[in-house]
Amino acid sequence: MKTIFRLLLVVLILTSCKKKAEQIPENPVQKAGFSIVIHGGAGTILRENMSPENKALYKSKLEEAIRVGYHILKNGGTSLDAVEKTINILEDSPLFNAGKGAVFTNEGTNEHDASIMDGKTLNAGASAGTKTVKNPISLARAIMEHSPHVMLSRSGAEQFAEEQGLEIVDPKYFYTEKSFNALQRVKNAQKTAFYNQNINDNKFGTVGCAALDKQGNLAAGTSTGGMTNKRWGRIGDSPIIGAGTYANNKTCAVSSTGWGEYFIRGMVAHDISSLMEYKNMSLEEAAKEVIHKKLPSIGDGRGDGGIIAIDKNGNMVMEFNTSGMFRATMNAHGELFIGMFKD
Q: Would you please indicate which residues are annotated as catalytic (active-site) residues?
A: 206
Integer Cα distance of 79 and 35 in angstroms: 9
Distance of alpha carbon 210 from alpha carbon 302, whole angstroms: 26
Stretch that binds ligand ASP, among 50-58, 198-206, 272-280, 295-303 (CB under 6 A): 198-206
Distance CA 332, CA 43 (A): 29
Ramachandran region, residue 205 (left: φ > 0; alpha: ψ -120 to 50; beta: rest): left
Q: In the complex with ligand ASP, which residue's Cβ is closer, 174 or 259? A: 259
Is 112 a binding residue for ligand ASP by CB under 6 A? The answer is no
Q: Does the footprint of ligand ASP cover residue 227 (CB under 6 A)?
A: yes
Region 246-265 residues binding ligand ASP, contact defined as CB under 6 A: 257-260
User: What is the C-alpha to C-alpha distance for residues 276 and 69, in angstroms, rounded to an integer?
Assistant: 26
CB of 114 to ligand ASP, least distance (A): 11
Please name the amino acid found at residue 336. L
Q: Number of H helices and number of E strands within the chain?
A: 10, 12
Is residue 42 a contact partner of residue 324, using CB atoms and an 8 Å limit? Answer: yes
Beta strands in the chain (DSSP E): 35-43, 112-118, 124-130, 151-153, 207-212, 218-224, 245-247, 252-258, 305-311, 316-320, 324-331, 336-341
Q: How far is the CB of 64 from ligand ASP (least distance, A)?
A: 21
Does 125 bind ligand ASP (CB under 6 A)? Our answer is: no
Give the residue, chosen from 28, 40, 41, 77, that forms a contact with ligand ASP under the rule CB under 6 A.
41
- Considering only 72-80, 133-141, 222-230, 278-286, which stretch makes contact with ligand ASP by CB under 6 A? 222-230
From CA 223, how far away is CA 305, in angstroms rounded? 15
- 200 or 315: whose CB is closer to ligand ASP? 200
Please name the residues in contact with 32: beta carbons below 8 A apart, sequence gap of 6 or more.
Answer: 314, 331, 332, 333
Cβ distance to ligand ASP smaller for residue 103 or 276:
103
As measured in angstroms, the least distance from the Cβ of 259 to ligand ASP is: 6
Q: What is the number of residues in the chain?
A: 343
| Footprint on residues 150-179 left by ligand ASP (CB under 6 A) | none
Taking contact as CB under 6 A, which single stretch among the options 17-25, 69-77, 230-238, 335-343 is the one that binds ligand ASP? 230-238
Q: How many residues sit close enough to ligand ASP to count as binding (CB under 6 A)?
A: 14
Angle at 127 (CA atoms; ends 299, 93), nearest 5 degrees: 95
Q: DSSP for 268-289?
A: HHHHHHHHHHHH---HHHHHHI
Residue 306 as a binder of ligand ASP (CB under 6 A): the answer is no
Residue 129 sits in the site that holds ligand ASP (CB under 6 A): no
Pick 120 or 294: Cβ nearer ligand ASP = 294
Residue 238 contacts ligand ASP per CB under 6 A:
yes
242 binds ligand ASP (CB under 6 A): no
Q: What is the largest CA-CA distance in the chain?
A: 77
Q: Is 237 an interacting residue with respect to ligand ASP (CB under 6 A)?
A: yes
- Contact flag: residue 206 with ligand ASP (CB under 6 A): yes
Which one, 174 or 204, has the nearer CB to ligand ASP? 204
Nearest residue (CB) to ligand ASP, 34 versus 326:
326
Q: What is the DSSP letter of 133?
A: B
Q: Which stretch binds ligand ASP (CB under 6 A): 55-63, 156-164, 234-242, 319-327?
A: 234-242
Q: Which residues make up the interface to ligand ASP (CB under 6 A)? A: 41, 203-204, 206, 224, 226-227, 236-238, 257-260
